A and B are shown apart, each in its own frame.
Chain A
């Protein structure tokens, strides 16, 4: 069974802290994604990666960075957390191809106080 695992379901961080959200997939997928989900705005793409050590900006990359040192792991980094980054973060992965399914993790609820 396919699996995308996000390391933390719920986090509370202080403004200015550096935050790491970790994601691991066990399907040997080339593509990995980080989305942010907010009420009324749907899912917005932050960053994606099509290969190890490769990253591409999505629609809302400001305030975020990513790291992909190994094929199975894709990390989202908030260099200095702010209250407007309070949100649900979803990691996803897929193999190549337009018709291929994207598989999602269960999400990480981040609250910045």
Chain B
């Protein structure tokens, strides 16, 4: 079945450091890929997404490129801020029959950014 593997945390960085959170996936077809972010005490919200190979999703300075050849969707940001401290989830959505689409999540990576 489908699966998502993302790097385990926690990840601790200083402000303005470069961020990479690795994500790889296993899927039988052509999934869409997502990064969600969860700030403390809140639900998840979409950070960015890509729906086909070689697409790049971007938002709030974060980027991720859908790499079909390496089945990866790594999240990057050039200069992190304290306000980026959160849990980041990689996810994929794939057709599961009829008009149904199933979303599969990674286990999440806790990022802490220190001033």
Q: A98, B101: Cβ atoms under 8 Å?
A: yes
Cβ of A34 within 8 Å of any chain B Cβ, yes or no, is no
B92 to chain A: closest residue by CB: A98
Stretch of A66-74, A75-83, A104-112 at the chain-chain interface: A104-112
B positions within 8 Å CB-CB of A: 31-32, 34, 36, 41-46, 49, 51, 89, 93-95, 98-103, 105-108
Contact check, B103 vs A33: say whether CB atoms are below 8 A apart: yes
Q: A42-B105, A42-B108 are in contact. Are A99 and B42 (CB under 8 A)?
A: no
Q: Quick check: B106 and A99 within 8 Å, CB to CB? A: no
Q: What's the Cα separation between A70 and B108 when bound, in Å? A: 32
Say yes or no: is A52 at the interface (Cβ < 8 Å to chain B): no
Give the CA-CA distance A90 to B94 in the complex, in Å.
Answer: 20
**Contact pattern, A 34-55, Cβ under 8 Å of B = 1, otherwise 0:** 0100001111010010100000
Chain A residue, CB-CB nearest to B103: A102
Knowing A98-B32, A104-B44, the reply to whether A42 touches B107 (Cβ < 8 A) is yes
B43 touches A99 (CB 8 A): no
Which residues of A lie under 8 Å from residue B32 when comparing CB positions?
98-99
Contact, CB under 8 Å: A96 / B43: no
Complex alpha-carbon distance, A33 and B42, angstroms? 17
Given the complex, which residues of B lie within 8 Å of A30, measured CB to CB?
Answer: 99
Chain B residues with Cβ below 8 Å from A105 are: 43
Question: Which residues from B are CB-within-8-Å of A45?
Answer: 102-103
